[in-house]
Amino acid sequence: MESIITTDNLTKIYRGSIKAVDSLTVQIRKGEVYGILGPNGAGKTTFIGMLTTRVTPTSGRATVAGLDIVKESLKVRKRIGVVPQDLTTDEDLTGYENLKLVSRFYDIPTNEANRRIDQLLNMVQLQKHSHRRVKTYSGGMRKRLELIVGLVNDPDILFLDEPTLGLDVNTRMQMWEYIRDLRKRLDVTIILTSHYLEEIDALADRVSIMDNGKILVTDTPLNLKNSMKEDYITITFASPDDLKIGEKFFSNNEKRFSGINTLRIKVPNSDETMPDLINYFSSHSVKITRITIQKPTLDEVFLEYTGRSLRDEEGGDARKSMFTIGRLRR
Amino acid sequence: MSGLIPLTSRELIRWYRNPVSLITGLIQPFFWIALFGSALGRFPTIFLQGAPNYITYIIGGVLSITSVFTAMFSGVNIIFDRRLGPLGRYLSSPIRRSSIVFSKIFSSTFRILVQVAILIFAAMILPNGLRFENGFSLFDSAVLITAVILLALIFSSLFSIIAIRVTRMETIFGILNLVNLPLVFVSYAMFPSGIMAGWINSIAKYNPVSWSSEAIRTVIINGTLTGSQLANVGLWLLYLTILAASLIILTYVISERGIRD
């Protein structure tokens, strides 16, 4: 498949020693949603910063839509849309004025710009608020506006840097819907960074796990999860006798008893195990009342590659800020 | 510079929507005129270079100071844009970096001209206020406007250069507070050179605020200029032009090399 972004040993070193991005060589395919998953400080934003020409690389090179990010930065900026982590819209202008302002940066003819702005406002249901000043918008409305500001120039590539950071769960799900929707409607490649596992899982075609400035692995979320070989099957049997017979099927697996007549078994791949399991149970007349399959999440994948859990990272941040608050109070 | 016109109009829309900044920008110069004008109303006219009263004497200085103070804030606005986010948007758009900075410089120059018009009007309606005893020709107004614009360009460029590199609000406010008093009082903005201590005098004559104040003062007091007055005004405007042009070029070069994110 055709690559739209290629990087070759792309590196960014800050203040002579901090390697924010360390020799990244990646290829991003045209039309895909490419996710970058990593904890805060992994180098995601610096990586995106270089691809969007805001940060100058220390070494290595990269092309975006066939254009060199250093030598042809102005041309690159014409072809991309950016939705940065921070809010960028002007609070004193209306939603419409913000979109109009950005459209003028791209020399889009007035009629075309107006048509596109209307279409985008409709897409995220901001049409009837478009002539209100942005300072009156809710957090979710501002994020939606940010999303379409990044699309005003009809970009080939859209960069979404932590698009749902700080949003509540409902608003986050709503943003996911808008992102899926725009992908359906527009011919655009999306680069998405996030430290929310569910977000990457829900939206990305392929994901790279990033930590300490390096990409540790890249694949589809499904392949990554399957590669863990760590599915859990939890079975509740009808009686202790059924349990005794049923248990024999898993003589080679790690298993433990949990609750009354309930067995939790670790298997490498539940999709392959299940047909055999059903055949065995029916031929031995084993009766069961409940069966649950638990596939690994991206967190297990993350744990495997980085040696720590992304959820712990989030918790760690929260604990740290609680600590700071505690100190401030004292 | 495809971003220059849209960004300048953005600045002016924001200004128009926040009339508080216009009013606060006028309060201080108005106090200069009203308080200094009446407090020093009995200032010996012998020092006033022919002005009929103190307000007529200081108006050139007040207009210059207003220009300097408003111009300095164009740098502060760059830091605000960085802190509040819009700068990030502009930096990832296909516009010249310098257009981001020059939109601040040009819009603040426009704001200054509006303030100057209001202040002249206010000074004229005050009792014992501004009087053009020897007339005020088109040439005189051209000198006034040119001096104000050049001074605005000098200080807005200077503070923009600082803001391109400095990311902390505290730093730029610190610099602002450090320089504003010396700029005003070590100059001929408020007081005639005749009453100044020698050492202040020798510094004040190199202060661009003095050049602008004196140029405006000369045309306001005298109306039609004599040959030597004309030469002086020409020289002050020339100094201002050279300084403004050099700083604008420097601003262009530095901003094109990159604005700190």
pLDDT digits (tens, 9 = 90+) for A217-266: 999 998 888 888 888 899 999 999 999 898 888 888 777 777 788 988 88
Contact between chains at A106 and B93 (C-beta distance less than 8 A):
yes
Please report which confidence band the pLDDT of residue A89 belongs to, taking 50, 70 and 90 as the band edges.
very high
The identity of residue A272, as a single letter, is E
**Residue A326 pLDDT:** 35
Which of B7, B14, B92 is closest, CB to CB, to A77? Answer: B92
Q: Any idea what DSSP says for residue A9?
A: E
**Residue B41 pLDDT:** 67
User: Has the ipTM of the complex gone over 0.90?
Assistant: no
* Number of helical H runs and strand E runs in chain B: 11, 0
**Residue A318 pLDDT:** 40
Question: How far is Cα B157 from Cα A287, in angstroms, rounded to an integer?
Answer: 83
* Beta-carbon contacts below 8 Å between A and B: 67
Q: Is the pLDDT of residue A323 over 70?
A: no
Q: 């540790």: which residue's tokens? A: A216
The 3-state DSSP class for residue A24 equals strand
Which of A77, A84, A104 is closest, CB to CB, to B88? Answer: A84
Q: Is the pLDDT of residue A116 over 70?
A: yes
Please report which confidence band the pLDDT of residue A311 belongs to, taking 50, 70 and 90 as the band edges.
low
Cβ-Cβ contacts under 8 Å for B116 (sequence gap 6 or more): B63, B66, B67, B144, B145, B148
The 3-state DSSP class for residue B25 equals helix
Please report which confidence band the pLDDT of residue A111 belongs to, taking 50, 70 and 90 as the band edges.
very high
Structure tokens at B248: 């604008």
Question: Number of structural domains, chain B?
Answer: 1
Mean pLDDT across A147-168: 90
Please choose, from the candidates A92, A330, A318, the residue with its C-alpha nearest in 3D space to the C-alpha of residue B21: A92
CA distances A241 to A238, A244, A261, A286, Å, are: 8, 5, 9, 9
Cβ-Cβ contacts under 8 Å for B224 (sequence gap 6 or more): B134, B135, B137
**Residue A316 pLDDT:** 42
Contact between chains at B13 and A92 (C-beta distance less than 8 A):
yes
Question: How far is Cα A316 from Cα A39, in angstroms, rounded to an integer?
Answer: 11
Contact between chains at A84 and B10 (C-beta distance less than 8 A):
no
Question: How far is Cα B147 from Cα A287, in angstroms, rounded to an integer?
Answer: 96
Q: Is the pLDDT of residue A319 over 50?
A: no
> Mutation test of the interface with chain B: which of A50, A90, A96, choosing the one with the most B Cβ atoms within 10 A?
A90
Mean pLDDT across A291-312: 82
Q: Is the pLDDT of residue A324 over 50?
A: no
**Residue A312 pLDDT:** 64
> Mutation test of the interface with chain A: which of B92, B97, B103, choosing the one with the most A Cβ atoms within 10 A?
B92
Contact between chains at A78 and B17 (C-beta distance less than 8 A):
no
**Residue A296 pLDDT:** 84
Q: Is the pLDDT of residue A317 over 50?
A: no
Domain that holds residue B243: 4-258
CA dihedral in degrees (B218, B221, B224, B230; nearest 10)?
-10
**Residue B216 pLDDT:** 95
In this structure, the number of other CB atoms found within 10 A of the CB of residue B200 comes to 16
Between residues A290 and A328, which one has the greater pLDDT? A290
Burial class (CB in 10 A: 0-12, 13-18, 19+), A60: middle
Q: How far is CA A1 from the centre of its chain?
A: 22
Q: Any idea what DSSP says for residue A269?
A: -
Question: How far is Cα A78 from Cα A153, in angstroms, rounded to an integer?
Answer: 8
CA distances A165 to A124, A194, A195, Å, are: 18, 8, 9
**A110-123 helix and A95-105 helix, angle to the nearest 10 degrees:** 130
Regions of chain B where pLDDT drops below 70: 1, 41-43
In this structure, the number of other CB atoms found within 10 A of the CB of residue B193 comes to 15
**Residue A315 pLDDT:** 45
Contact between chains at A88 and B6 (C-beta distance less than 8 A):
no
Cβ-Cβ contacts under 8 Å for B50 (sequence gap 6 or more): B221, B222
Contact between chains at B14 and A92 (C-beta distance less than 8 A):
yes
Please report which confidence band the pLDDT of residue A320 belongs to, taking 50, 70 and 90 as the band edges.
very low
The 3-state DSSP class for residue A48 equals helix
Please choose, from the candidates B53, B54, B26, the residue with its C-alpha nearest in 3D space to the C-alpha of residue B191: B54
Please choose, from the candidates A15, A7, A99, the residue with its C-alpha nearest in 3D space to the C-alpha of residue A52: A7
Question: How far is Cα B211 from Cα A198, in angstroms, rounded to an integer?
Answer: 65
In this structure, the number of other CB atoms found within 10 A of the CB of residue B34 comes to 15
Q: Is the pLDDT of residue A289 over 70?
A: yes
CA nearest to A50 within chain B: B92
Which of A53, A87, A90 is closest, CB to CB, to B10? Answer: A90
| Whether A239 contacts A261, CB under 8 Å | yes
Question: How far is Cα B65 from Cα A48, in angstroms, rounded to an integer?
Answer: 44
